[in-house]
């Protein structure tokens, strides 16, 4: 394209001398010439002027970050939602991060990432990494708008036509879960996560669905203004889940990809047994079989079965993934782009994973906002080792407050070809839905002792 060729910044070169830019500007014709001159000047003087943190609850709580610049109308929107700890992230952004950013050049995405990661001295942690991701996403959004390109282009361009998506299906018994998987398949999904209530246990992770604007796929309603309690026992769980997948394979055949989320509830030995017992049903992956502190136990799972393992939605330090990847203890990298520190670092993890045949499955739950889902899909479109992407449908009210986000058709997700991430926030509307205190549930064993939820 003519304009792109004529612009050294778009080609990733450093704008060394204004004179050189001018020579190139001279090569462009007519209107192109004016655009070139304006963008070159704009880029050399662009500054961050404000960082707005928008906490809003259109159906559930979200933390949006809006980074404004010295160029009127040029801003970026990121997501910094951390379910149940929204206000801690908002305070980190407002009190500690925003003052460091005012006056900085928003184009220095990597340098800003490094400053925000290293400057606190206290590295990582979910609150800090989520706050950092909110800024990082907003900066990539700005960079895309400046370049006039969708973010996936800046990440290297498309490697695939669409992004294989999965959604959730659940039920109180095997037949209900089977029906839910069928509905998702009729809607176009080729991959479905299946969960079922465990007989005799009150409340099972992933089994209480709330109504959505899309009838075929659910969002899990597990928020309350004080933690509710679910009961978990490994015995009944380990006996039920292989039978669920035996039922599903028998009734649904081999075509549909099936996934299951353990939600970090098992010990390594229990998880190894489950992965082994599930092997005949050929899961796409078994998710978070053990909690992160027991990740050494993944070795035991590996020795016992060939069920693919996805891990990491509550891992927030990028470095924690390094041994999981290099020792090939996981098959799918499953952190949330928005909880691991943003696109800048997720892209690096994906590159490391590529060399070890580990694929990506970025966490995409209802409790992260559309800019995070969009960022995941932009990355999925650009990397070689994409695996699968979790998809949820947002209710209309959330889509009005936070417009834009990935599209879904025929089992695949995509993004519109608009510049940046393709999402926004309506600040005025957001104010109509103020924050509501909410917690995730707690889990206890039958004897009353606390267990991982």
Residue numbers annotated as active site: 205, 263
Query: How far is 291 from 303, CA to CA, in rounded Å?
Result: 18
76 or 364: whose CB is closer to Mg ion?
A: 364
Query: How far is 265 from 288, CA to CA, in rounded Å?
Result: 8
Distances (CA, A) of 435 to 41, 129, 394, 432: 40, 21, 17, 10
Q: Show the tokens assigned to 313.
A: 């939605």
> What Rg do the C-alpha atoms of the chain give, in angstroms?
23
Determine the number of helices (DSSP H) and then strands (DSSP E) in the chain: 17, 18
Query: How far is 146 from 69, CA to CA, in rounded Å?
Result: 11
Asked whether position 83 contacts ligand KDG by CB under 6 A, the answer is: yes
141 or 313: whose CB is closer to Mg ion?
A: 313
25 or 336: whose CB is closer to Mg ion?
A: 336
Query: How far is 369 from 392, CA to CA, in rounded Å?
Result: 10
Helix (H) or strand (E) holding 308: none
Query: How far is 59 from 62, CA to CA, in rounded Å?
Result: 9
Q: Going residue by residue from 289 to 318, which x/- string records binding to ligand KDG, judged by CB under 6 A?
A: ------------------------x-----
Q: Residue 389 binds what, of Mg ion, ligand KDG, none (CB under 5 to 8 Å, by partner type)?
A: none
236 or 365: whose CB is closer to ligand KDG?
A: 365
64 bridge partner residues: 54, 79
Asked whether position 261 contacts ligand KDG by CB under 6 A, the answer is: yes
83 or 360: whose CB is closer to ligand KDG?
A: 83
Instruction: Looking at residues 367 to 386 of the shown chain, list those that interact with Mg ion (rule: CB under 5 A).
Output: none
Select from 79, 86, 178, 390 the one that contacts ligand KDG (CB under 6 A): 390
Distances (CA, A) of 47 to 103, 105, 142, 155: 5, 5, 11, 23
Query: If you write DSSP's letter for every residue of 39-86 in order, what string do you get?
Result: HHHHHHH--EEEEEEEEE-SSS-EEEEEEEESSTT-EEEEE---TT-H
148 or 365: whose CB is closer to ligand KDG?
A: 365
Q: Look-up: residue for tokens 């040029």?
A: 74
Q: Residue 365 binds what, of ligand KDG, Mg ion, none (CB under 5 to 8 Å, by partner type)?
A: ligand KDG
Q: Residue 390 binds what, of ligand KDG, Mg ion, none (CB under 5 to 8 Å, by partner type)?
A: ligand KDG
Select from 59, 257, 261, 390 the one that contacts Mg ion (CB under 5 A): 261
Query: How far is 39 from 145, CA to CA, in rounded Å?
Result: 11
Asked whether position 59 contacts ligand KDG by CB under 6 A, the answer is: no
Quote the least distance from Cβ 193 to ligand KDG, whole Å: 7
Asked whether position 230 contacts ligand KDG by CB under 6 A, the answer is: no
Q: Going residue by residue from 424 to 453, which x/- string records binding to ligand KDG, judged by CB under 6 A?
A: ----------------x-------------
| CA 381, chain centre distance (Å) | 14
Quote the least distance from Cβ 438 to ligand KDG, whole Å: 10
The Cβ of residue 340 has, within 10 Å, a number of other Cβ atoms equal to: 29
Quote the least distance from Cβ 83 to ligand KDG, whole Å: 4
- Residues forming contacts to Mg ion in the complex (CB under 5 A) are 261, 313
- Residues forming contacts to ligand KDG in the complex (CB under 6 A) are 83, 261, 263, 313, 365, 367, 390, 440
């Amino acid at each position: 394209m003519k304009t792109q060729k004529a612009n050294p910044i778009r080609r990733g070169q450093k704008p060394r001398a204004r004179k050189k830019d001018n020579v190139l500007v001279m090569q462009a014709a007519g209107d192109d010439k004016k655009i070139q001159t304006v963008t070159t000047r704009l880029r050399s003087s662009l500054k961050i002027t404000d960082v707005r943190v928008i906490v809003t609850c259109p159906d559930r709580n979200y933390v949006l970050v809006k980074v404004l610049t010295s160029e009127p109308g040029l801003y970026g929107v990121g997501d910094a939602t951390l379910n149940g700890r929204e206000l801690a992230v908002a305070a980190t952004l407002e009190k500690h991060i925003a003052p460091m950013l005012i006056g900085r050049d928003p184009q220095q995405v990597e340098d800003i990432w490094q400053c925000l990661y290293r400057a606190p001295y206290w590295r990582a942690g979910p609150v800090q990494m989520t706050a950092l991701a909110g800024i990082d996403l907003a900066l990539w959004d700005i960079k895309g708008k400046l370049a006039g390109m969708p973010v996936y282009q800046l990440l290297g361009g498309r490697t695939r036509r669409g992004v294989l998506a999965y959604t959730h299906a659940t039920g109180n018994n095997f037949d209900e879960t089977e029906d839910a998987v069928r509905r998702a398949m009729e809607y176009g999904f080729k991959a479905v996560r299946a969960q079922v209530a465990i007989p005799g246990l009150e409340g099972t992770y992933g089994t209480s669905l709330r109504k959505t604007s899309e009838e075929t796929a659910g969002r899990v309603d597990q928020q309350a203004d004080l933690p509710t309690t679910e009961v978990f026992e490994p015995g009944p769980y380990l006996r039920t889940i292989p039978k669920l997948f035996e039922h599903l394979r028998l009734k649904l055949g081999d075509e549909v990809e099936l996934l299951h989320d353990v939600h970090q509830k098992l010990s390594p030995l229990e998880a190894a047994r489950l992965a082994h017992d599930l092997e005949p049903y050929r899961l796409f992956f078994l998710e978070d079989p053990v909690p992160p502190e027991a990740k050494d136990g993944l070795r035991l799972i590996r020795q016992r079965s060939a069920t693919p393992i996805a891990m990491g939605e509550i891992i927030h330090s990028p470095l924690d993934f390094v041994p999981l990847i290099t020792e090939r203890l996981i098959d799918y990298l499953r952190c949330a782009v928005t909880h691991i520190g943003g696109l800048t670092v997720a892209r690096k993890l994906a590159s490391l994973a590529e060399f070890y045949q580990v694929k990506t499955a970025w966490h995409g739950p209802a409790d992260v906002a559309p800019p995070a889902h969009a960022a995941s899909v932009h990355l999925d479109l650009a990397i070689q080792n994409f695996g699968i992407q979790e998809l949820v449908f947002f209710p209309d009210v959330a889509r009005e407050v936070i417009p834009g986000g990935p599209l879904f058709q025929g089992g695949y997700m995509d993004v519109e070809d608009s510049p940046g991430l393709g999402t926004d926030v309506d600040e005025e509307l957001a104010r109509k839905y103020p924050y509501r205190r909410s917690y995730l549930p707690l889990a206890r064993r039958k004897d009353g002792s606390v267990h991982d939820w």
